Structure 1
C-alpha cells in the first residue's frame, strides 16, 4: 500500500492518431500542501478538482466548449449519458465511452443521507470523475452557428444579428443535444448500490461551489506516512 504523489495522464495530440508522452501531474506542492481542492468530504461529497495547465499541442475538448449548463427541470427518469475513459487511455482505446443511464432518485432530496443523485448504471472505476450530460432532442448546428447564436445572446448588436440571419438554421438536422448536469462518482464502497447496479452523481452546482470555495484537500495518509518526503520522490503514480 502506498500514498501516491502524482497522477500520470495520457493526452491525445492534435495530430490524428498520435499521443503525447505521459504527463505527470503532482498531487502536492513543494511544501507538502495538497494540490487538489475538495468540497465538504465530511458531508459525504466525493468530489475533488486538480488544477492543470494543458500543453499547446494537446487535443482535449473541455466540457464548456461544447455543452451548456442544464437549466431545465431535473426529475427521475431523465435520460443521461456518462462520457469517460472506462478503459486505459491508449492507442487501442483512445476515445471515451458513452454509457447511458437514467436519473433513478429524486434530485430534490438527499440520497442515502448525502447530497447526491442516484443513476441506474453500474459503477465503472475508470469512469469516476467523468462528466454527466442530460440528453434531449434538438438540432445539430456547426460551431460557426453556435458561436453566432452565443454572440447574439451576449450582445444583440447589428453585427451579431447579421451573422445570425446569414445562417441556414432551418436546414439544421435534428439530433441529441447534451447539457452538463454533474460528475459521476460510481458505486465504489457501497454494496447496496452495487447490488442494484446503481451509481452516484454529484450535481454541477456542487462543482461550482468547489471551484468558488477552493478548499484545499486533506489526505489522512499523506506520503510522509509511508516515508515519502516530497512530491519529487520516487513513489508510485496512479
Structure 2
C-alpha cells in the first residue's frame, strides 16, 4: 500500500473555505483531468457551503464561501515546496464557478472546480488510465483508504492522513450509479471530499467477461477510485454507527465531461 499511497499523495489538497476573506471551514479535494482540463473534485456541500438536502447555509453565521485556498506541491532544487493558491468559487454575480451534476444537481454531493495547470504542480490525475483500474474487483468487506484532513490535521503541514475503511455495501448488489456506496470508517470534519480508494502495489483480481470467474492481473502501483467520500450517515456523537457515504466515480465523470455549471438550488 505504501508505494501507491506515496505516489498519490501529491494528488490531494486540503481546502480552506473563505467568505469575505474569513475562514469558515475546511475540506479535502483531489485532482482529476478530463482531456486537457484539470479539476479539483470535492463535495457539493464543501464548495457551496450549503446542506445538500435543504439548501440552507451550513455555517452558523449563514456565510457562504466565495473563495478557497488549495495546496500544490512542486520540486525546486531537489526539494519539495508547498505553495498555497487562492481560488474563486463565485463570479462577480455570485454564480458558482464550480460544476455540479448536470442532471441531479445537489442531490449528488459532488462538485468539481476547473483549475489551470499552474495550480496542479506535481499532482497526478487520480483517474489516469495508467494507474486507475476500473475493472479492479473490490469485495464486500474489502479494505479501502480515505486520505484527507480530519479536523484540519495534516502531516508536516500539507500531507493527508490516510485513514482506513471497509466496503460495507456491494456495488454488485446495487449497480445504479446514483446510489452512494456505504463504507465503515471513523471519520471527522475535514474529510469531506476525500477520494475513496482501493489500493494495490503488485496485483489485483478482475472478473473475466463479467462472470464469476476471476483472473489475477499483475501491475505495480495501481488503484481504483470508488468515488468521493461525503461524511458520516449520522454524526450526533462519537458512538454513532461510523458509516459514511461514497458518491460513485461514474458521477464524477458525468460532471467533468458534461461541464454544466448550475447555481445551487435553494429549497
TM over 0.5: yes
Counterpart in the other structure of 1:164: none
TM-score, normalised relative to structure 2: 0.58
The residue aligned with 1:198 is 243
Q: 1:62 to 1:85 in 2, by over 3 A?
A: farther
Flag structure 2 segments of 5+ consecutive residues without an equivalent.
Answer: 1-60, 204-217
- How many angstroms apart in 2 are the aligned matches of 1:185 and 1:210? 16
Give the equivalent residue in structure 1 for 2:66.
5
The 1:34/1:56 distance shift into structure 2, 3 A limit, reads closer
Q: Please state if 1:182 is matched with 2:227.
A: yes
Task: Give the Cα separation in 2 of the matches to 1:194 and 1:70.
Answer: 34
Segments of structure 1 that go 5 or more residues without pairing to the other structure are 140-172, 222-238
How far apart are the structure 1 equivalents of 2:150 and 2:192?
Answer: 9
In the TM superposition, residue 128 of structure 1 has moved relative to its aligned partner by 1.4
Structure 1 position 26 matched with structure 2 position 71: no
Structure 1 segments, 4+ long, off by >6 Å, are: 173-176
Whole-angstrom CA distance in 2 between matches of 1:192 and 1:115:
25
- For residues 201 and 57 of structure 1, what CA distance do their matches in structure 2 show? 24
Q: CA 1:72–1:56 in 2, change beyond 3 Å: closer, same or farther? A: closer
TM-score scaled by structure 1? 0.64
Deviation at 1:91, TM superposition (A): 7.8
Q: Offset at 1:178?
A: 1.9
Matches for 1:60-75 after TM superposition, within 5 Å? 60-65=123-128, 67-75=131-139
Q: Which residue of 1 aligns with 2:164?
A: 100
Alpha-carbon RMSD across the aligned residues, in angstroms, is 3.4
Cα 1:49–1:203 shift into 2, 3 Å? same
Alignment of 1:109-188 (within 5 A): 109=174, 115-136=179-200, 138=202, 177-187=222-232
Contact 1:68–1:180 (8 Å) recurs in 2: yes
Richer in helix (by share): 1
User: Taking structure 1 as reference, are residues 29 and 181 closer, same or farther at Cα in structure 2, changes over 3 Å only?
Assistant: same
SS for the counterpart of 2:140 is: coil
Higher RCO (C-alpha 8 Å, min separation 6): 1
CA gap 1:29/1:37 in 2 versus in 1, 3 angstroms: same
Secondary structure (helix, strand or coil) at the match of 1:179 reads: strand
Aligned residues: 185
Asked if the contact 2:132–2:222 (Cα under 8 Å) also holds between the matched residues in 1, the reply is: no
Task: Give SS of 1:80's match.
Answer: strand
Give the number of the structure whose alpha-carbon radius of gyration is greater: 1
Which stretch of structure 1 is more off in the superposition, 8-17 or 84-93?
84-93
**Shift, 1:87, TM fit:** 5.8
For 1:55, what is the secondary structure of its paired residue?
helix
Q: 1:182 Cα shift?
A: 1.3
Are 1:78 and 2:78 matched, yes or no? Answer: no
Residues 41-85 of structure 1 show CA distances to partners (whole Å, capped at 9, x for unaligned) of: 45x321111111131782323313562142144442122111223
How far residue 205 of structure 1 moved from its aligned partner, in angstroms, is 0.8
- Normalized per residue, the structure richer in strand is 2
